[in-house]
Amino acid sequence: MKELVRAHTDRDDILGKFAEPEDMDTVINEDCDLYNLNPLEPDRKDESNIIFKFRKGVFTDKEQKMAYEGLRDAATESQNRGMAAGPRGDQLGSSQRAHRDWVTPYQEEVIDYFSSGGNLFDAFPTDNTTNEETRGRVWLRSKVIGEKYGDYKGWFDRWVERMKKQPKNTWDVEAAEVSKMISDTNYAQTVLSGIAGYFDRYPRIPHGRACGYNDKYPEKFAKCFPYVNKLNDVFKKELPVRWGAQNECAQKLDPRFRIDKSVFTTLTINYNWRTAGHRDAGDLSSGFSNISGIGKGWKGFIFTLPEWKIGINLQPGDLLLVNNHEGIHTNTAGIGEDNDRVSIVAYFREKMLDLQSYEYEMLRKQFVEERRGNKEHALQRNLWNGVSPGMWDKDEWREYMKSYDMPDPYASNTIEGFFK
């Protein structure tokens, strides 16, 4: 087995971009461990400075086949993968609707120029647009098309020329009208990606829960369990300290929020997606990340760590245990004529530690749903989702818990609970 020790070189310049051949001087094709060079301890090689452990042929054909059947459909169109989606290109792509044009930085500057009335000292913006941005808003085509702006193609340039001929005291009104033709949502480029397993609370959905995919297809999802449990076993064998830290956290969690017998809560599933340079976030900092690939018709792809100038030739059945927190990573497209590649990343979401028992989280869910459906609720309004600021500190929630004989797990953290 090969062991390497290499120094880290900052490569923030590659964030949001794809790696090129010159970004790596070594491609790994066999079992290999890479350690980050510590100048003060150049001989150190342990779990404190491990960057990756690559192991060939970990998963059997049967384990891969079952995982593919269980997870392939979890990867759906997503426009929320940010920097990892790569440069946004000319249009926001989607199979669900016509491709939409990005609002370019130049167009935004032009709208700002007209909104301000064209300050005497402000030169008219110059179009220096590149396609290197990774996120942006889009034009709402349905709001543009009409008698006032004519055909959609070339409408913005025609509008600019017309505006230049109008009195300046009309510019702000016209610019405000055009601003309403821009989406409120900020998108990344469309990729095929999804999650399965379990997820923590966040403001709009303030309860722990199963991800939508396995909540809808639990039996299909269960097909991946042998694969995930094998991954767990290899993780434990190869990185016992990191696995132990993750297991300690996993034992604090209701087992119904973990994937079968493993120390993982969540899977990210990507389909035929070449990721751009990014760092992972949200998974347990004391644990460790991983990536593996399954599917048909592909022979490998190069997982790249440009800050160590290394690529790993990841093939079906291989497993890469890797520190994705600290290292920028990207990958090439799949190698093979008929790519049908599913990449799997298994991890423990750190915020899952905020959850209480499964019953408590389900009661929170039920409380929100009942509030949303209660037409007589004081906060009821059109499209209300049942959530309001400070709701979990209010008597309404406390009384609701009491009606179901649910102890308040946070009572000891309050002044009232302290004196109890």
Domain boundary among 179, 214, 233: 179
Q: Which pLDDT belongs to residue 340?
A: 87
Does residue 368 sit in the same domain as residue 325?
A: no
Q: Phi and psi for 156 in degrees, rounded to 5?
A: -65, -45
Does residue 205 sit in the same domain as residue 80?
A: yes
Give dist(CA 64, CA 303) in Å, integer: 19
Task: Indicate the SS3 state at residue 50.
Answer: strand
The pTM (predicted TM-score) of the whole model is: 0.86
Does residue 197 sit in the same domain as residue 251?
A: yes
Does residue 345 sit in the same domain as residue 210?
A: yes
Residue 186 maps to a domain: no
Give dist(CA 270, CA 78) in Å, integer: 10
Q: Which pLDDT belongs to residue 413?
A: 55
* Number of structural domains the chain divides into: 3
Does residue 76 sit in the same domain as residue 205?
A: yes
Does residue 164 sit in the same domain as residue 118?
A: yes
317: left (phi over 0), alpha (psi -120 to 50) or beta: left
**Which domain does 362 fall in, by range?**
358-419
Q: Which pLDDT belongs to residue 416?
A: 42
Which CATH number does the domain housing residue 34 bear? 3.60.130.30
Q: Which residues contact 303 (CB under 8 A, 6 or more apart)?
A: 291, 311, 312, 314, 320, 322, 329, 331
Does residue 228 sit in the same domain as residue 120?
A: no
Q: Which pLDDT belongs to residue 338?
A: 60
Helix axis angle, 105-115 to 171-179, nearest 10° = 140
Task: Indicate the SS3 state at residue 34.
Answer: strand
Q: What would the two tokens of residue 42 be?
A: 């150049």
Give dist(CA 410, CA 84) in Å, integer: 37
Half-sphere exposure of 150 (CA within 13 A, CB side): 8
280: left (phi over 0), alpha (psi -120 to 50) or beta: beta
Does residue 114 sit in the same domain as residue 74?
A: no
Q: Output the tens digit of pLDDT for each of the chain's 420 residues.
A: 999 999 999 999 999 999 888 999 999 999 999 999 999 999 999 999 999 999 999 999 999 999 999 999 999 988 888 888 888 887 887 766 667 899 988 999 999 999 988 765 568 888 876 667 888 999 998 888 776 777 888 899 999 999 989 998 899 999 999 999 999 988 888 889 999 999 999 999 999 999 999 999 999 999 999 999 999 999 999 999 999 999 999 999 999 999 999 999 999 999 998 899 999 888 898 999 999 999 988 888 999 999 999 999 999 999 999 998 888 999 987 766 567 899 999 999 999 999 999 999 999 999 999 999 999 999 999 999 999 999 999 999 999 999 999 999 998 654 444 433
Q: Which pLDDT belongs to residue 95?
A: 66
Q: DSSP assignment, residue 191?
A: E
Give dist(CA 197, CA 258) in Å, integer: 7
Would you mind telling me the total number of residues written for the chain in this entry?
Answer: 420
